[in-house]
Chains A and B, each alone.
Chain A
Amino acid sequence: MEIVYVYTKKRSEFGRQCNFSDRPAELHVDILPDSSLAANFTVRDPCNVTIQCADEMSEHEVNTERFESESRGINHVEGGWPKDLNPDDMEATIRYRKKVEKDEHYQNTIMQIAGLMEHCIRQNNATDIYEDFLEDEDEEDVEESEEQPSAKTINVFRDPNEVKRTATSLSWHPDGNHKLAVAYSSLEFQRAPNDMNFDSYIWDIENPNKPEMTLKPVCPLVCLEYNPKDSHILIGGSYNGQIAYWDTRKGSQPVEMSPIEFSHRDPVYKAIWLQSKTGTDIFSASTDGQVLWWDIRKMSEPTERLVMDPTKKGNIDNSLGAISLEFETTMPTKFMVGTEQGLVVSCNRKAKTPAEKIVCTYSGHHGPVYALQRNPFFPKNFLTVGDWTARIWSEDIKESSIMWTKYHIAHLLDGCWSPVRPSVFFTVKMDGTLDVWDILFKQNDPTLCLKVCDEALYSIKVQDNGRFLACGSQLGTTTLLEISSGLCSLQKNEKALVSEMFERETKREKILEARHREMRLKERSRSEQSREDEMKETDGEESVEELVARAEKEFFHIIENERMKERNEEKDKDQEKGVCEEKDFQEEHETNGVSSFVRTEISL
């Protein structure tokens, strides 16, 4: 029902002044009750009304402003000198001092208190009253008492930009460990917002408010590493495949970048410094399937290249995307590459032909191998982290890992060994938890499981002293944690026990491998036997394609038969139902051809 009141005014009267006057009320609209509408409503009886008799409470959140502190020094000026004396004037001060020394009162006082002082000094020299008499006993106690493993957060470094990026890689400063270089980028393909900042930062761990230095690359960095020999040089691998190196003494711009034509075609996921006389060699890996070697003095082209082709033909189309690298300075000729496809490839640097470069592969992961590291105490064993597990391998056993964690709910994104304890390693997961594993203590579960933040943790790096570790998250928050001393001090017999454990597991795997091989041999010989019998029936061995074609033909044949059968059944039903329904039924059949086939199978 539309109620309209029309107000008209002549155009010539527009703009005239308003002249207000009184007039009696006019009734414009009168809507009378319409009892026919009552038919649309029913009386609701009873009515449910909820009442609560409780204290009224409200929730209120207050967030204080982030407190930024800065350390500053104050310069003290020497004071206390009498007004007429200039403290810088050496002679005047000496004269003043001499004057004081001549004073009788001074001398008396000094004699007095000097006597007291001498007494105390002699006392100190006689016995050390604060000596640790129970030191030896304490040590024994500590060994027996089981300190609860724990970790606490020391500092949190947040990405200062508005648009948060993932902290994809961390690198500790090689001397002193007071600085942490963090590479920021967005790993989500093409989802990086336009105004995302490309910078990566070097943080001083004492100051979480502001990064100590900014590195400004041309494209966001995915990985960043300090040169272990020269702490001023860093290399970074960027999202567009280029490699760049920085010298912190020379500023925020990269000193040199590799040209795009010769760089990787995919983000450079890992770049490591090599052991060399000049200390300027690096190698990098990317998911485009190549591992490139560079000398940073001449970044115009890579010194060497290796295509990760498992068939050893150097065919880049077949290659596996490399996503992690491993290089141990004690074994300079070998290196390992972790691939996106879940294989770990062990390579030899000194091989003459590219085919010989790839020595062997280890398979076991279902997804990309995000982290790969040899145990610093037992280089024959290495840790890989990928998909939902972390696995420990022995170099000799290529078929499977010797130890592995259970399948977790969240993906594991990074991991590393502790540099001080051979049995401890750390992993970080997609749900923001950090797990500390001690394989001598417990193998099924992590010894310590910490929830660091709510978003995924992408990277973790342990400091060389094994006590501090930093982990970077999806929103660019890097957390610095200190772990309890129990987890970073070498226990007695630990090395022996760990090596025993690794050997035991290796032996077990070897035995299993041998058994598998036996079984396979038996199978093969049996199948060969049976195939010889079959040969009289079929014409020799059929190739794969022929088999497939035959299977397809049989399959379609069976479907056709079923369809015909059903159509015949329908024609019978037709006589009962109408034409439309038949059509619907047929259409349904044609679309559900296979399912109807299955249906009849079951009924049979």
Chain B
Amino acid sequence: MKEYCAATRTHGGRSTPDLSDMAEVEDTLKRIQAQHGVIGTIVVNGEGIPIRTTLDNSTSVQYAGLLHQLTMKARSAVRDIDPQNELTFLRIRSKKHEIMVAPDKEYLLIAIQNPSE
């Protein structure tokens, strides 16, 4: 993972204006939302505020709050078991759908998908 991000950094150059990056980010998020079965996506910052969401505000706030805490707990659990390990992805499968959380130091990307059946 770390190597990958280093690659993008050098590749991107980062001297280009932010707009194209923003467009890229937009594109990526739109692509995720457009995937088959995806119900909604939420980007949450470190304080639990949904930055970008395709769901309504109250739902987003609820998901953000709950999953933030859960991710913290999962992260610390993984670290406790093996200090050299770290949490890369969290998937919660429920009867109705699957909640996928991609954690980062500061941000959280949450996607809710209805699995293929």
Chain A: residues with CB nearer than 8 A to chain B? 76, 78-81, 96-97, 100-102, 104-118, 120-122, 124-128, 130-131
Contact A121 B18 (CB under 8 A): no
Contact A110 B107 (CB under 8 A): yes
Contact A110 B28 (CB under 8 A): yes
Contact A128 B107 (CB under 8 A): no
- Which B residues from 10 to 49 make CB contacts under 8 A with A? 14, 18, 21-22, 24-25, 28-29, 31-32, 35-38, 43, 45, 47-49
Contact B111 A117 (CB under 8 A): yes
The residue from A79, A108, A112 contacting B1, defined by CB atoms under 8 A apart: A112
Q: Which residues of the other chain, A, contact B102 by a CB distance below 8 angstroms? A: 113-114, 116-117, 120
Q: How far is the CA of A118 from the CA of B37 in the complex (A)?
A: 12
Q: A78-B61, A97-B52, A121-B32 are in contact. Are A113 and B107 (CB under 8 A)?
A: yes
Contact B98 A124 (CB under 8 A): yes
Contact A124 B113 (CB under 8 A): yes
Kindly state the interface size class of chain B when it binds its partner.
35 or more
Q: How far is the CA of A100 from the CA of B102 in the complex (A)?
A: 18
> Quick one: closest A residue to B105, CB to CB?
A109
Q: How far is the CA of A96 from the CA of B50 in the complex (A)?
A: 11
Q: Which residues of the other chain, A, contact B111 by a CB distance below 8 angstroms? A: 117, 121
Q: Which residues of the other chain, A, contact B22 by a CB distance below 8 angstroms? A: 101-102, 107
Q: How far is the CA of A100 from the CA of B111 in the complex (A)?
A: 20
A82 to chain B, nearest CB (A): 8
Kindly state whether residue B67 has any CB partner on chain A within 8 Å: no
The total of interchain contacts (Cβ-Cβ below 8 angstroms) comes to 115
Contact A101 B100 (CB under 8 A): no
Q: Which residues of the other chain, A, contact B117 by a CB distance below 8 angstroms? A: 128, 131
Q: Which residues of the other chain, B, contact A112 by a CB distance below 8 angstroms? A: 1, 4-5, 8, 104
Question: 9 shortest A-B CB distances, which residue pairs?
Answer: A80-B47, A113-B102, A80-B48, A114-B28, A80-B49, A113-B109, A117-B102, A121-B35, A107-B21
Contact A110 B93 (CB under 8 A): no
Q: Which residues of the other chain, A, contact B73 by a CB distance below 8 angstroms? A: none
B84 to chain A, nearest CB (A): 20
Interface CB pairs A-B, < 8 A, 23: A79-B47, A80-B48, A80-B49, A97-B49, A100-B45, A100-B51, A105-B106, A106-B107, A108-B9, A111-B24, A113-B102, A113-B109, A114-B29, A114-B109, A116-B1, A116-B88, A117-B109, A117-B111, A120-B100, A121-B32, A124-B115, A125-B116, A130-B115
- Which B residues from 86 to 112 make CB contacts under 8 A with A? 88-89, 91, 93, 98, 100, 102-107, 109, 111
Q: A81-B49, A121-B35 are in contact. Are A109 and B104 (CB under 8 A)?
A: yes
Q: How far is the CA of A434 from the CA of B22 in the complex (A)?
A: 70
Q: A79-B48, A113-B107, A130-B93 are in contact. Are A125 and B28 (CB under 8 A)?
A: no
The residue from A105, A106, A117, A124 contacting B37, defined by CB atoms under 8 A apart: A124
Chain B: residues with CB nearer than 8 A to chain A? 1, 4-5, 8-9, 14, 18, 21-22, 24-25, 28-29, 31-32, 35-38, 43, 45, 47-49, 51-52, 61-62, 65, 88-89, 91, 93, 98, 100, 102-107, 109, 111, 113, 115-117
Q: A109-B104, A114-B28, A124-B115 are in contact. Are A104 and B51 (CB under 8 A)?
A: no
Q: A79-B48, A118-B35, A128-B117 are in contact. Are A107 and B25 (CB under 8 A)?
A: yes
> Quick one: closest B residue to A103, CB to CB?
B18
Q: How far is the CA of A117 from the CA of B104 in the complex (A)?
A: 12
Q: How far is the CA of A109 from the CA of B52 in the complex (A)?
A: 14
Contact A104 B14 (CB under 8 A): yes
Q: A78-B61, A128-B115 are in contact. Are A114 and B32 (CB under 8 A)?
A: yes
A577 to chain B, nearest CB (A): 99
Q: Which residues of the other chain, A, contact B35 by a CB distance below 8 angstroms? A: 118, 121-122, 125
Q: Which residues of the other chain, B, contact A106 by a CB distance below 8 angstroms? A: 25, 45, 51, 107
Q: Which residues of the other chain, B, contact A131 by a CB distance below 8 angstroms? A: 117
Q: A117-B100, A120-B89, A124-B98 are in contact. Are A111 and B113 (CB under 8 A)?
A: no
The residue from B5, B51, B52 contacting A108, defined by CB atoms under 8 A apart: B5
> Quick one: closest B residue to A102, CB to CB?
B18
The residue from B25, B36, B93 contacting A101, defined by CB atoms under 8 A apart: B25
Contact A121 B49 (CB under 8 A): no
Contact A104 B107 (CB under 8 A): no
- Which residue of B28, B47, B52, B89 has the most chain A CB atoms within 10 A of its CB atom? B28
> Quick one: closest B residue to A117, CB to CB?
B102
Q: How far is the CA of A76 from the CA of B32 in the complex (A)?
A: 29
Q: Which residues of the other chain, A, contact B93 by a CB distance below 8 angstroms? A: 130
> Quick one: closest A residue to B26, CB to CB?
A101
Contact A111 B28 (CB under 8 A): yes
Q: Which residues of the other chain, A, contact B100 by a CB distance below 8 angstroms? A: 117, 120-121
Q: How far is the CA of A105 from the CA of B9 in the complex (A)?
A: 11
> Quick one: closest B residue to A131, CB to CB?
B117
Q: How far is the CA of A101 from the CA of B104 in the complex (A)?
A: 16
Q: How far is the CA of A364 from the CA of B16 in the complex (A)?
A: 97
B63 to chain A, nearest CB (A): 12
> Quick one: closest B residue to A90, CB to CB?
B57
A101 to chain B, nearest CB (A): 6
Q: A80-B48, A116-B88, A120-B91 are in contact. Are A110 and B29 (CB under 8 A)?
A: yes
Contact A116 B38 (CB under 8 A): no
Contact A104 B18 (CB under 8 A): yes
Q: Which residues of the other chain, B, contact A130 by a CB distance below 8 angstroms? A: 93, 115
